[in-house]
Structure 1
Amino acid sequence: MHMSDALLSATVGVTMTAASAGAIGHSIRKITKFEMDEKKIPMMGVMGAFVFAAQMINFTIPVTGSSGHIGGGILLAALLGPYHALITIASVLLIQCLFFADGGLLALGCNIFNMGVLPCLVAYPLIFRPIVRKAMTKKRITAASVLAVVIGLQVGSLAVVLQTQASGITELPFLSFVALMQPIHLAIGAVEGLVTAAVLCFIYQMRSEILESAMRDSSVNGIPVKKVLVILSLAAVLTGGFLSAYASANPDGLEWSIAGVTGEAELEGDSGLHAMIAGIQEKAALLPDYAFKAESAENSMFGDAAETVGTSVSGIAGGLVTMAAAVLTGALISRLKKRRNTEAAA
């Protein structure tokens, strides 16, 4: 559900960037109030890499000709807590935008809001937490995962429609667009909910304390997490480096909905601003659309396998860069917490 710049006006793009920045700032302030939690930093990195890789796996939605991928917001919130989760998913979306041209640069604020703020700060605390708070069991985790993901994705897809309407995108009339966006993302959300539940139940079986600490916004210091991190790291490598090559080629839910209204999977930005931003993103993207650039692919030693190799390289490299970005962000926040604690003690 990564929005492109062509779906937005500059005003809406800037406004949503400010809203997302405000939510991230709020999350940082919340985190700095907690006790020091050094173990959350590697968890943010590994989970960021895992979600990056998992988002590369588009699964087919039967009959529709569409596909979907997990958003990861609820998964991250259930393991890290809502505030660390928002920082992590924002890192994922930033790397996808800058280095892989997945989602527009002007639309980055919208994508963080729709795929990060809404699931992490709304769906998780209002839906997931109340269901599992009294008694955490696998059945409750499954029910909470499916319900929270479905509702979060329904609200997020509606937000996409409202953002395009506020931007004056006349090619996408409200009723026609929303009539396609909501049902297809309901199906995508059901699949993502089950995937999220499977991962969470697996981790619950290994270390239930991780989910319990996220529920209480408490520290994971003292909880053995090394084994979980090793398994998730290996899963990220396997998913991004190998399984990503077998992702569905069908358009995702957003592209499918746009095509259902306009006949084309993507709209073209027609303003000078859109062209300028597209130029910046094109220069920054090292592996656009998770593949080697056209000129590199033509001269590649891999021949006909260049596309598959490019996808695998993108999955592994992107996961590593995302891990580094999330760890660096966590380390900076940790340093800020230490400074504030020192100043308070003085």
Structure 2
Amino acid sequence: MADALLSPAVGGVMWVAAAGTVAYSARKLSKGESKDLNSPKSVSFDKKIPLMGVLGAFVFAAQMINFTIPGTGSSGHIGGGILLASLLGPEAGFLTIASVLLIQCLFFADGGLLALGCNIVNMGLFACFIGFPLIYRKILKKGFTPTKIMIASIVSVVVSLQLGAFGVVFETMLSGVTELPFSTFVVLMQPIHLAIGAVEGVLTGCVLIFMYNAKPELLVGYDGSAVKENVSVKKVAVVLVVITALIGGGLSLVASSNPDGLEWSIEKVTGSTEIDRSNGVSDALGSVQESTAFLPDYAFKNSDSTMGTTVSGLIGSGITLGLAAVIGVSASKIKNSKKHA
């Protein structure tokens, strides 16, 4: 979401909601209270810390690739919440997606600073704390198979994205954006994000099936039902790093230029992909963002070179990897220090 879709009051409330969920997740991890990470058959969170950084980088890079939705003139990209939660648990997954969105906002001007809280809730909270535990885990409760993983991925991603899309519409309505009437906006947003969710669900399922075949113990809640070759976490992480570099450094150049689902919906209503609204708060935060974003819109400032996209993909993935890893290591150290105490 851009800041123009929000009032300062709604943006502020959602900032508080996002910050509260971040604090809750950090507390759960630091105290070792995440029930989803206590399965005796799954790899422990401490051993997944390198993977936390790598997965954050992978999602950052993957979000740069918009795929075309045939017959609509729109495009979409993965959110990554279900993918992260299914491999890291809901708390660590949420902190990782929040890190991705923070870096996108501050350094690449992707999403408004006032809207950051909304984006974290819409893309992170709904997936990690609703779609994952209430849908994905329920479908896989009686055992893991590639077919079940694919079904769970598609259904949970679609539901999570529908909730996120409705969240955008609801937050816009509460902000008094009269240019986007609620009924018209919701009728456009939900179907297009249903299509986007279906594609993301399949892509998520493919990644998780790859993980299942390589090292099923990485999947949260894994019950030990499959006997696989013992591939190390390090090898899986190396493969993901290579894929991330290829996506961020190369495939991002061929991303669809069509407007994404939100921009497409806005354009259908107003005739433009953006709304021109501002206030003192959004103007001030916009100035802050302008000063921190060294590669706005994933490009060099005042340059048409496509190398800006490649550099953005590699640098952004690297920063995300570092931040997510620092969060994981910090949570692990706090948890271990409390155990010793």
The code of the aligned residue for 2:287 comes to G
2:35 aligned residue: none
User: Per-residue displacement from partner, 1:62-121 (whole Å, max 9, x unpaired)?
Assistant: 111000000000000111111110010000000000000000001100000000010001
2:279 maps to which residue? 271
Matches within 5 A, 1:1-346: 3-34=1-32, 37-213=45-221, 224-294=232-302, 297=303, 306-342=304-340, 345=341
> Secondary structure in 1 aligned to 2:161?
helix
Over 3 Å counting, the alpha-carbon distance change for 1:214 and 1:57 in structure 2 is: farther
Q: Contact 1:57–1:243 at 8 Å: present in 2 too?
A: yes
Q: Tell me: CA distance 1:326–1:156, structure 2 relative to 1, closer, same or farther (3 Å).
A: same
Q: State the distance in 2 between where 1:49 and 1:143 align.
A: 25
> Which secondary structure does the structure 2 equivalent of 1:307 belong to?
coil
Alignment check: 8 A CA contact 2:157 2:200 kept: yes
Q: CA deviation at 1:30?
A: 1.5
Q: Residues 56 and 69 of structure 1 are in contact (CA less than 8 Å); yes or no, is this contact kept in structure 2? A: yes
Q: Distance in 2 between the 1:284 and 1:228 partners? A: 33
Q: Distance in 2 between matches of 1:223 and 1:97?
A: 36
Secondary structure of 2:68's partner? strand
Counterpart amino acid of residue 203 in structure 1: M
Q: Which residue of structure 2 aligns with residue 302 of structure 1?
A: none
Q: Specify the code of the residue in structure 1 equivalent to 2:274.
A: E
1:215 CA displacement: 8.3
Aligned residues: 326
Displacement of 1:188: 0.2
CA-CA distance at 1:32 after TM superposition: 2.1
1:81 touches 1:214 (CA, 8 Å); kept in 2?
Answer: no
Contact 2:11 2:115 in 1 (8 A): yes
> Which segments of structure 1 move beyond 6 Å, counting only runs of 4 or more?
none
Aligned to 1:301: none
Contact 2:45–2:88 (CA under 8 A) maintained in structure 1: no
Q: Deviations over 1:158-178 (max 9, x none)?
A: 000000011111111000100
Give the superposition deviation at 1:28. Answer: 1.4
Distance (Å, rounded) in 1 between the aligned partners of 2:265 and 2:14: 22
TM-superposed CA distance for 1:214, in Å, is 6.9
Contact 2:144 2:222 in 1 (8 A): no
TM-superposition CA deviations, 1:37-72 (whole Å, max 9, x none):
432221110000000000000000111100000000
How far apart in 2 are the matches of 1:160 and 1:214? 34
Q: Distance in 2 between matches of 1:176 and 1:72?
A: 28
Deviation at 1:224, TM superposition (A): 2.6
SS of the equivalent of 1:60 reads: strand
Give per-residue Cα distances to partners, 1:280-331, cap 9 Å, x unaligned. 111110100000011xx2xxxxxxxx53210000000000000011111112
| CA distance in 2 between partners of 1:208 and 1:338 (Å) | 26
Q: Deviations over 1:237-290 (max 9, x none)?
A: 000000000000000000000111111101123212221111111111010000
After superposing the two structures, state which structure 1 stretch, 76-85 or 25-34, moved more: 25-34
Deviations 1:125-183 (A, max 9, x none): 00000101211000000000000000000010000000001111111100010010000
Letter in 2 for 1:16: M
Contact in 1 for aligned 2:216/2:222 (Cα 8 Å) = no
Partner Cα distance (2:326, 2:219) in 1: 23
Which one is further off, 67-76 or 263-272?
263-272
Deviations 1:185-218 (A, max 9, x none): 00000000000001100110001111145789xx
Letter in 2 for 1:329: I
Shift of 1:334: 2.0
TM-score by length of 2: 0.92
Letter in 1 for 2:28: K
CA contact (8 A) 1:209 1:223 kept: no
3-state secondary structure, aligned to 1:169: coil
More deviation, 257-266/267-276: 267-276
